[in-house]
Structure 1
Amino acid sequence: MSQDGAAATATTTASATVTERVPAAVDRRISGPQPPANAIRNVNNNNGSRTDKSNSSKNGNGALMPPPPPPSQVLPTDSSNRIRLNPNVDHKPDSYEDMELELGFSPLLFSSLERYLPPALLNASRNSKANYMSQILLRYSTEGERNRVQKHKEYRQKIISNYQPLHRELYAMHASNFFVPSFLKAVSENTVESFRSVMSEPSPGVFAFEMLQPRFCEMLLAEVENFEKWVHETKFRIMRPNTMNKYGAVLDDFGLETMLDKLMEEFIRPISRVFFPEVGGSSLDTHHGFVVEYGMDRDVDLGFHVDDSEVTLNVCLGKQFSGGELFFRGVRCEKHVNSETQPEEILDYSHVPGRAVLHRGRHRHGARATTSGHRINLLLWCRSSVFREMRKYQKDFSGWCAECQREKKERQRQSVAATKLELLRREGEAAS
């Protein structure tokens, strides 16, 4: 809970019929503060800026609003200028990173959304496109949500204004110092073959690979410990990563948001574009980055759940520990989140420091008890606003939900069987 009184929304659970090795309910793992279900309304969750020196105007309730565009930049809003259903994949969008304060939304969201603009607007000025997209986003954002976003920004600003970082080099993306050479080479080549060359796939849709250098892991662990020491000394009440973890810290909240944005945009999105296209892997535009801590004096385990993400990166930072294995039990849509696990979906995975696991957020999983030592993991929940908006209008998720796939195959089998019976009936009638 923040000093401003913001609280994480309680999780919702439902009964489940799953294997006996899995708890009886799947938890919709939710970050704090809880993002709304609507994709566009979700874009500012956990995306407060590092500084807030903007002169942007505010509405009567204190929420940051983008300044009105000059008359010459007001764009038409008739039907010819509606957002496109499919993106223009050949269009190279502008960067909006330097406009974050006046826009009030994540810059990555604007770059992602730009590909969906109508053709007539793609070549407009950057300010014109930004104002046009802001108008759209504000129509999706309620007054209450804008207030929550503003309070979260103020909460972050209080931390960043007072906390002194231990390792400032962590706050910018220095890829050669962060990642192992094999991972950098694979991302640089950016092909299915290059990714496959450094990854194993112990179960369909779960990818494991060497990612972080030991030195980076050590620095990030030290930075987190330094932050928690500051929290303890100042008695500052912080938001924990989600409703399931009582320990850990949100990295975005004390200044690491820009670095994690780069991690998602330049390293995770290229991989997700290849392996998770059906859940918005190519349009990831926002994230929630945090560390979780497990041990006898920390959180011990983590219940069976799905993440509030399209794609999740989970990297073990250390330290020495035993236990704490991840268990995976298949990908499910909301309707089938508690359906039975099939034998081929069962995977237990042991963490190794520096090694990453990448999977769909809807891949049901949990963590077994850490029986000794201290285990700390870096989590990056990557989200696609476009995918979440499109998902509202979908009823069939057989492209990625294993239970939807099974139901679809069963319907097809029944249809074929019914057709055969009808043909046999007609043949029998003709013969008689």
Structure 2
Amino acid sequence: MMYTNGKTTNNNSPIRQPEPPANGGSGVVPGGPRGGQRLRLNPNVEHKPDNYEDLQLEFSPLLFSALERYLPPSLLGVKRDTKLNYMTDILLRYSSGSERLRLHKHREYRQKIISNYKPLHCDLYNMNGSSFFVPSFLKAITENTEESFRSIMTEPSPEIFTFEILQPRICAKLVEEVENFEKWVHETRFRIMRPNTMNKYGAVLDDFGLESMLDKLMDDFIRPISKIFFSEVGGATLDSHHGFVVEYGTDRDIDLGFHVDDSEVTLNICLGKQFTGGELFFRGVRCEKHVNTETQSEEPMDYVHIPGRAVLHRGRHRHGARATTGGHRINLLLWCRSSVFRELRKYQKDFSSWCAECHHEKKERQLKAIMTTKLELLRREGDAS
């Protein structure tokens, strides 16, 4: 069965297909502004960037803090204003006027929400690892080794990892915070942006004040894991995110079509509540060129959500969600992205290190080359005799 192309959106890339059966360092990159200095290829993880949140900026303050880790060594110790000018020059050269206008309007939209919405659980907005996470997850992060991460994980299919992560009370508080926000939206008749074009319910957590908390979740807790298990797709250089919740149930979204995420690495945490159905189904990792190719026999995998438990996978891992047949399911999604990987990907033609179809094509070419060589040797032997 071949998949047909779906419409690509800013937030995800849906793939149309019938519902599957139930069983089924160093270095530099171009772009330094005036003066010829260039950004590092990999972030300086030891460097603690300045905070830019007290400034009225054209771009997100978190973007400047993330980008600062890529500055040349000679700029790390200069005044904040000097770094700010340097990074602004880069961002202005790489963003169009329409993109800057969009960012400006979105920043105004967020500021309007944050200025008027009163949080229910203020402790959620400043992450405290010991109260947020289960002890096993914290211990693994502290040890920061492949062995420690694997000790808390199961890997039901290659490079799909599941593990316990959030304390039950944090799951409950996040659900209550989302419900409180939705209540405020309803009472004020404020028109909010939904997480993506495929979900009619849910909310973008970054938009009502949780951006810093989610940025810390990515930087301090997900990037160390991704650096080990997803290095070939920018796992070590994750520097931005899109954080949101989705809601499923008989009076909300029912299911989610087959698609890929606009991310390098996706963290999906089930927050609750009581529900039936809603399983994720996975169908193999593909690059953009091969996103609609057939699923190989070893690739199908189903995952059943458990509150407090996470599933971590590549954004390019094709997946969808079956119908939630009862109750109410809420999931937190963190799409983690790497600007360095995305820039380098523009110049790559071979993705065989992670795309299953590219790997298959490369193997076929190698086998063909070997066979051609053998036939040529046999022909020469025949001529010699």
1:246 is the counterpart of 2:231: no
Does the CA contact (< 8 Å) of 2:286 and 2:357 recur in 1?
A: yes
Does the CA contact (< 8 Å) of 1:327 and 1:365 recur in 2?
A: yes
1:387 is the counterpart of 2:345: no
What is the correspondence of 1:3-402 to structure 2 with a 5 Å cutoff? 17=2, 28=8, 30-31=10-11, 77-79=34-36, 81-84=37-40, 86-87=41-42, 92-99=46-53, 101-114=55-68, 116-118=70-72, 120-402=74-356
Partner AA of 2:319 in structure 1: H
Q: Relative to structure 1, is the Cα distance of residues 115 and 260 closer, same or farther in structure 2, using a 3 angstrom cutoff? A: closer
Q: Relative to structure 1, is the Cα distance of residues 108 and 427 closer, same or farther in structure 2, using a 3 angstrom cutoff? A: farther
State the percentage of identical aligned residues: 71
Q: Deviations over 1:128-170 (max 9, x none)?
A: 3332122111100111111110100111111111111111111
Deviation at 1:77?
2.2
SS of residue matched to 2:254? coil
TM-score by length of 1: 0.80
Deviation at 1:427?
1.1
Q: Relative to structure 1, is the Cα distance of residues 118 and 252 closer, same or farther in structure 2, using a 3 angstrom cutoff? A: closer
Q: Relative to structure 1, is the Cα distance of residues 415 and 111 closer, same or farther in structure 2, using a 3 angstrom cutoff? A: farther
Separation in 2, partners of 1:134, 1:371? 49
Q: Deviations over 1:26-73 (max 9, x none)?
A: 5646439x9xxxxxxxxxxxxxxxxxxxxxxxxxxxxxxxxxxxxxxx
2:362 is aligned to 408
Separation in 2, partners of 1:25, 1:103? 39
Separation in 2, partners of 1:392, 1:205? 24
Q: Relative to structure 1, is the Cα distance of residues 430 and 108 closer, same or farther in structure 2, using a 3 angstrom cutoff? A: farther
Q: Relative to structure 1, is the Cα distance of residues 123 and 227 closer, same or farther in structure 2, using a 3 angstrom cutoff? A: closer
Separation in 2, partners of 1:225, 1:112? 31
Q: Which runs of 5+ in 2 are unaligned?
A: 14-31
Does the CA contact (< 8 Å) of 1:28 and 1:307 recur in 2?
A: no
SS of residue matched to 1:241? coil
Separation in 1, partners of 2:336, 2:275? 27
SS of residue matched to 2:199? coil
Deviation at 1:258?
0.9
Q: Relative to structure 1, is the Cα distance of residues 427 and 107 closer, same or farther in structure 2, using a 3 angstrom cutoff? A: farther
Separation in 1, partners of 2:155, 2:336? 20
Q: Relative to structure 1, is the Cα distance of residues 269 and 107 closer, same or farther in structure 2, using a 3 angstrom cutoff? A: farther
SS of residue matched to 1:344? coil
Deviation at 1:124?
4.2
Partner AA of 1:77 in structure 2: R
SS of residue matched to 2:88? helix
Deviation at 1:304?
0.2
Q: Relative to structure 1, is the Cα distance of residues 76 and 389 closer, same or farther in structure 2, using a 3 angstrom cutoff? A: closer
Q: Could you say what the CA RMSD is over the residues aligned between the two structures, in angstroms?
A: 2.1
Partner AA of 2:130 in structure 1: S
Aligned residues: 367
- Runs (4+) off by over 6 Å: none
Separation in 2, partners of 1:226, 1:88? 38
Q: Which runs of 5+ in 1 are unaligned?
A: 1-15, 19-23, 35-74
SS of residue matched to 2:185? helix
Separation in 1, partners of 2:232, 2:186? 43
Does the CA contact (< 8 Å) of 1:211 and 1:355 recur in 2?
A: yes
